[in-house]
Amino acid sequence: MKIDITGRHFHVTDPLRVYTDEKIGKLDKYSLKLEAAHVIFDVQKFMHFSEIVLRGKRMRLTAKAASTDMYSAFDKSFDSIRLQLERRHERVRDRQAYRADKQSQTGRRAK
């Protein structure tokens, strides 16, 4: 997965970049069809904003968060995007189980 990290009105430090890469890399376990992640850090006066945009096959997920600390803003947006991916993963898994159950009842392939 390609990970882009952007800072608006803010220089992204190396430790923050490494931290972001490690956390975003953990999202691959939920979906193998993720193509790219774009993380945007923004500073406005005393507030720090973090936005994560995930793109994949027929999928685009976005999460935004704000805090007084950049790491906590990123953690909040990461938790939000992780929950979105978990819900999507469960829906796909449930749909596949339903199709398999329907196929076993009818004895033929379900569409």
Q: What would the pLDDT profile of 63-76 be if each residue is shown by its tens digit?
A: 999 999 999 999 99
How high is the mean pLDDT of the chain? 87
Which stretches within the chain are classed as H helix?
14-25, 70-106
Decide if 31 contacts 93 (C-beta within 8 A): no
Of residues 88 and 17, which shows the higher confidence score? 17
Sorted by where each begins, the domain ranges of the chain are 2-106
Q: What is the pLDDT, as a whole number, of residue 76?
A: 98
2-106: CATH, from 3.40.50.300, 1.10.645.10, 3.30.420.10, 3.30.160.100: 3.30.160.100
Name the pLDDT band for 15 (thresholds 50, 70, 90).
very high
Q: State yes or no: pLDDT of 99 exceeds 70.
A: no
pTM for the model stands at 0.81
DSSP letter string over 77-97? HHHHHHHHHHHHHHHHHHHHH
